[in-house]
Amino acid sequence: MFIFNTKKRINELKQINEQLSAKIIELEKQNNTFQSILHGMVEGVIAVDQDTRIVSVNPSIENIFGVKKSMIEGKFLLEAIRNNDIVDIVNNVLKKKEVISTELTLLWPVQKIFQVNASPILESGSIGGCLMVIHDITEIRRLETMRRDFVANVSHELKTPLTSIKGFVETLLEGALDDKENNRHFLKIIQNHAERLDELVSDLLILSHLESKEVILEKNDFNLWQELDEVILGFKAQLKKKKIEINNELPQGILIRADKDRIEQVVTNFIDNAIKFNKEKGFIKVYSEDLGNEIKIIVEDSGFGIPAKDIPRIFERFYRVDKARSRELGGTGLGLSIVKHIIELHGGSVGVESTEGFGSKFWFILPK
């Protein structure tokens, strides 16, 4: 009887051992799955205990805050991430046992905007810690700001010519149409504003098309020196009017592989600006620098130059250094933004070097 009971007990222990082994394997699988999810999340995840000591973090937290998991686990949250706002959120969750969702703008240890979701970790009804999920929304907010600014800028750019057109049409309808001395002058002003609107809409469509990333570049080999010569020929009247000397110093045999029409837009824009914002009897020269696998094309002028504070924003949509002068000389404020998109589509980059009062050097770089 004793032997039978012993065998029975051994069998029961074997079954319990098998069940435990199976449970451990299952828990390991679940843990591996959980770790894979944590590691694959774009959002940063921090788990702290009831004393706000860090229990675990995922790689995104390391990337966001520039910390190492091995260095911060086991430390108090404020020791690892020195920000009182984040610690306050965790303390409120631990105290109130409620989920908190808020947007947080941090200046330290990083300058970013986060969507923070923090929830209590409950253990048998009592609070055992806090789980915080941090989503970096800095880029989203930046794009939203850009969109608002874009809408405001477009509205402003459209309103000015539309107001003028409306005013002069009303003036003509109220009797000025019969004023032979002024009616043609009024109509000419209306025509100029209409052309400005047409140019603005055209540039907006070009920019929208370029930003959609749906542009298919038709790349071919062509002689850039020859292309520049043709562009310069089109500006002959403007150059003569301001007595500006222009020199094409590119190597005559310079060949590049690119979309010819798009590069013509870039060169035309640079030359146009170099004339508009140049001094009487000034100069423009176009030359190149060999950068190994790349070629740099520089358009240098003797113009008014650009203040240092404006240089970082010069390629933004609608950004103008001197708004009154820019509108007087024509243009939509979109030209340099279009240039930037065209060159970036070619895998290149654009830039400017300038000193106020001493001219500018606008350049673009293309792969050979």
234/348 same-domain check: yes
**295-334 pLDDT per residue, tens:** 999 999 999 999 999 999 899 888 877 655 555 556 678 9
Residue 227's pLDDT is 95
In a domain, 28, yes or no: no
Instruction: Quick: pLDDT tens for 48-88.
Output: 999 999 999 999 999 888 889 889 999 999 999 888 999 99
Comparing 275 with 321, the larger pLDDT belongs to 275
Confidence bin at 181 (pLDDT 50/70/90): confident
| Residue 199, token pair as written in the block | 């140019």
pLDDT at 38: 64
Q: Are residues 151 and 84 in the same domain?
A: no
Domain annotation covers residue 1: no
Are 131 and 166 found together in one domain? no
Q: Which residue has the higher pLDDT, 154 or 365?
A: 365
Q: Evaluate whether 98 touches 107 at the Cβ level (below 8 Å).
A: no
Question: Among the three residues 196, 214, 232, which one is the final residue of a domain in this structure?
Answer: 214
Q: What is the per-residue pLDDT for 23?
A: 79
Cα 271 to Cα 367: distance, rounded to the nearest angstrom? 22
Shared domain check, 264 and 342: yes
Domain endpoint, select from 195, 214, 233: 214
In a domain, 288, yes or no: yes
Q: Do 110 and 141 reside in the same domain of the chain?
A: no
Do both 258 and 354 map to the same domain? yes
Neighbour tally for 354: CB within 10 Å:
21
CATH of the domain at 161: 1.10.287.130
Q: How confident is the model at residue 32 (pLDDT cuts 50, 70, 90)?
A: low
Is pLDDT of 128 > 80? yes
Residues 105 and 122 in one domain: yes
Q: Of the segments 163-177, 184-198, 204-218, 262-276, which one has the largest average pLDDT value?
A: 262-276
Residue ending a domain, among 70, 103, 136, is: 136
The mean per-residue pLDDT over the stretch 264-278 comes to 95
Same domain, 87 and 168: no
What is the predicted pLDDT for the residue at 210? 87
In a domain, 242, yes or no: yes
Q: Clarify whether residues 366 and 274 are in a common domain.
A: yes
Does residue 4 fall inside a structural domain? no
pTM: 0.65
Does residue 14 sit within a domain? no
Q: Which of 50-54, 106-110, 279-283 has the lowest mean pLDDT?
A: 106-110
Please state the domain count of the chain: 3
Q: pLDDT class for 267, splitting at 50, 70, 90?
A: very high
Rounded mean pLDDT of the chain? 88
For residues 228 and 145, membership in a common domain is answered with no
- What is the CATH number for 126? 3.30.450.20
Token pair of 204 as six digits: 């907006």
* Domain CATH code at residue 362: 3.30.565.10
Domain that holds residue 353: 217-368
- Assess if residue 160 is contained within a domain: yes
What's the token pair of residue 288?
């190149």
Question: Are 122 and 103 members of one domain?
Answer: yes
Same domain, 103 and 231: no
Q: Are 311 and 180 in contact (CB under 8 A)?
A: no
